[in-house]
């Protein structure tokens, strides 16, 4: 039997267990083969499994869904930071991850964690929204924009986003694209709401998607003419985020709760 390694499950963008988005975090001394990391992520069957290895004074970080590796993930980065800053190096105030999307910093900030992520502002869509998008969402957004790996579907009301019941088989016809659905918030404490659908990366609906807010922060910051905003992802589990558009970068604040500490024998 292999020597055990530290394994965690963390509820990210939540201040209590069983809310937000659960991510697995695996701490290794060196990188495993890609196919083994993918197999572990499939075994965990969470929207993301984070693999963390030491790289000098910093940490290497990669993310896998049950079916594929992704280039950027917010909630699993937050989960990995909570593990490092709570268990591995509790005296530290900041951690730097070296990732496929470049260096990503996470620091403590008044009881929460602050993530420093790239800004991915949306651009006008080239052409009309596809039938795969409209039929997949089973609804017609007011606007559709191009956000690189995602399509941003903007609706008029939060209730429109909450009511979405996608056809995930049809959404797979979007190829590499995932879908961020968003609308203005309703109430003084929520500036905008969202949901995230990614059947092409093995996650039909992600409970809380930090990386989507790399697009949502500049979009709503420009539309509402404010840099710092309060967001709510209105999935079944739900999650609360605070975001700030800083030009080329976005700050995303959230809580995280470690719910499982264990050992992985792989």
Q: What residues are labeled active site?
A: 48
DSSP 22-60: EEEEEE-SSPPPHHHHHHHHHHHTSS-EEEEEEETTEEE
Q: How many CB atoms lie within 10 A of CB 263?
A: 9
The torsion defined by the Cα of 66, 20, 240 and 216, in degrees rounded to 10, comes to: 10
- Tokens 């701490």 sit at which residue? 27
Q: 2: which residues sit within 8 A by CB, 6+ positions away?
A: 265, 266
Cβ contact 48:24 at 8 Å: yes
Cβ contact 77:61 at 8 Å: yes
């Amino acid at each position: 039997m292999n020597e055990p390694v530290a394994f965690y499950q963390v509820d990210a963008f939540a201040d209590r267990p069983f809310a937000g988005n659960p991510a697995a975090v695996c701490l290794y001394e060196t990188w495993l083969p890609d196919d083994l990391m993918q197999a572990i992520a499939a075994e965990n069957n969470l929207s993301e499994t984070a693999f963390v290895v030491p790289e000098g004074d910093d940490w290497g970080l990669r993310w896998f869904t049950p079916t594929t590796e992704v280039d950027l993930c917010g909630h699993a980065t937050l989960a990995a930071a909570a593990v490092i800053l709570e268990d591995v190096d509790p005296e530290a105030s900041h951690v730097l991850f070296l990732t496929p999307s470049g260096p990503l910093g996470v620091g403590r900030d008044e009881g929460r964690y602050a993530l420093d992520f790239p800004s991915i502002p949306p651009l006008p869509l080239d052409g009309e929204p596809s039938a795969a998008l409209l039929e997949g969402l089973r609804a017609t957004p007011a606007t559709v924009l191009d956000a690189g790996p995602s399509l941003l579907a903007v609706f008029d009301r939060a209730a429109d986003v909450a009511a979405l019941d996608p056809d995930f088989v049809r959404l797979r016809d979007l190829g590499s694209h995932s879908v961020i659905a968003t609308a203005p918030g309703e109430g003084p404490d929520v500036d905008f709401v969202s949901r995230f659908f990614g059947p092409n990366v093995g996650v039909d609906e992600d409970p809380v998607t930090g990386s989507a807010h790399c697009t949502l922060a500049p979009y709503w910051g420009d539309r509402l003419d404010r840099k710092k905003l309060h967001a709510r992802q209105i999935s079944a589990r739900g999650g609360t985020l605070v975001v700030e558009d800083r030009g080329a970068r976005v700050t995303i604040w959230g809580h995280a709760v470690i719910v499982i500490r264990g050992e992985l024998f792989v």
